[in-house]
């Protein structure tokens, strides 16, 4: 997630609070989508109003219309992974942020997800990650879905990060995960199985957190 935060806060400058309030109000009247009031977002997230102002300014720099579509999101994300192909992972990440399923991410969508990933409890972070892996949104993760996400991460990191991979490493990684997660061996992982397995296994939690770092 550091990549997204970095690009969306690029070239932002903090000014005096009173000046920020005036500027933000002016900017919000000029975009096609006007976000919810910062006070409301402050109540709904784990960010302060000043942090939200900085995030909004960064969001506006990259997305002047006030919303970002998938192609723009992919373009932004690709800048941080020049040695790999980030398009597939960015597609899945975009869908995770697009909670309204309308093909666009508003500022509110962005900061709500960001709040969970950066400031949420362990349980909240794991739930968010589960929904990322649950590609078809049926409330379960199967091996194919997890393999798709893990393979997308390997593709994004590129051959310079993993220069000597032998065999189907993403599949091997997923097989090991499923062996621990799928407690009742029914071929799918529920949210509770996912959370419990990650909390019980320190190595698995580290792996999940490693993947979280590329969000």
With 0-12 / 13-18 / 19 or more C-beta atoms within 10 angstroms meaning exposed / middle / buried, residue 150 is buried
**According to the model, what pLDDT value does residue 164 have?**
53
Angle made by CA atoms 32, 34, 37, in degrees to the nearest 5:
175
**For residues 107 and 86, is the Cβ–Cβ distance under 8 A?**
no
- What is the percent of the chain with per-residue pLDDT over 90, rounded to a whole number? 53
- What is the percent of the chain with per-residue pLDDT over 70, rounded to a whole number? 75
Question: Please, which pLDDT band fits residue 210 given cuts at 50, 70 and 90?
Answer: low
**According to the model, what pLDDT value does residue 161 have?**
60
Q: Where are the beta strands (DSSP E) in 35-107?
A: 67-69, 104-106
Domains of the chain from N-terminus onward: 41-120 (1.10.238.10), 125-214 (1.10.238.10)
**According to the model, what pLDDT value does residue 88 have?**
96
Q: From CA 129, how far away is CA 136, in angstroms rounded?
A: 14
Given a cut of 60, is residue 60 above it in pLDDT?
A: yes
DSSP strand pairing (188-189 vs 141-142): antiparallel
Mean pLDDT within 74-88: 89
- Ranges 3-12, 21-30, 66-75, 173-182: which has the least confidence: 3-12
**According to the model, what pLDDT value does residue 45 have?**
95
Question: Please, which pLDDT band fits residue 157 given cuts at 50, 70 and 90?
Answer: confident
Long-range contacts at 158-165 (CB < 8 A, ≥ 24 apart): 158/81, 158/82, 158/83, 158/84, 158/85, 159/83, 159/84, 160/83, 161/83, 161/84
Q: Where are the beta strands (DSSP E) in 12-115?
A: 67-69, 104-106
Q: From CA 122, how far away is CA 71, in angstroms rounded?
A: 31
Question: Please, which pLDDT band fits residue 19 given cuts at 50, 70 and 90?
Answer: very low
Q: From CA 41, how far away is CA 174, in angstroms rounded?
A: 37
The model's pTM is 0.77
């Amino acid at each position: 997630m550091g990549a997204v935060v970095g690009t969306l806060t690029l070239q932002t400058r903090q000014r005096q609070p009173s000046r920020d309030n005036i500027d933000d109000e002016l900017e919000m009247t000029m975009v096609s989508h006007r976000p919810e009031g910062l006070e409301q977002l402050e109540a709904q997230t784990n960010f302060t109003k000043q942090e939200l102002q900085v995030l909004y300014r960064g969001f506006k720099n990259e997305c002047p219309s006030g919303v970002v579509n998938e192609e723009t999101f992919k373009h932004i994300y690709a800048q941080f992974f020049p040695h790999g192909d980030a398009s597939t992972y960015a597609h899945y990440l975009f869908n995770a942020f697009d909670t309204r399923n309308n093909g666009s991410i508003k500022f509110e969508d962005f900061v709500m997800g960001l709040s969970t990933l950066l400031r949420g409890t362990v349980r909240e972070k794991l739930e968010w990650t589960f929904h990322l892996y649950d590609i078809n949104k049926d409330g379960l993760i199967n091996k194919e879905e997890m393999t798709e996400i893990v393979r997308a991460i390997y593709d994004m990191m590129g051959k310079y990060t993993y220069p000597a991979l032998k065999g189907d490493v993403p599949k091997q990684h997923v097989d090991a995960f499923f062996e621990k997660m799928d407690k009742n061996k029914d071929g799918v992982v529920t949210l509770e199985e996912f959370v419990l397995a990650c909390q019980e296994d320190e190595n698995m939690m580290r792996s999940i957190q490693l993947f979280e770092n590329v969000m």
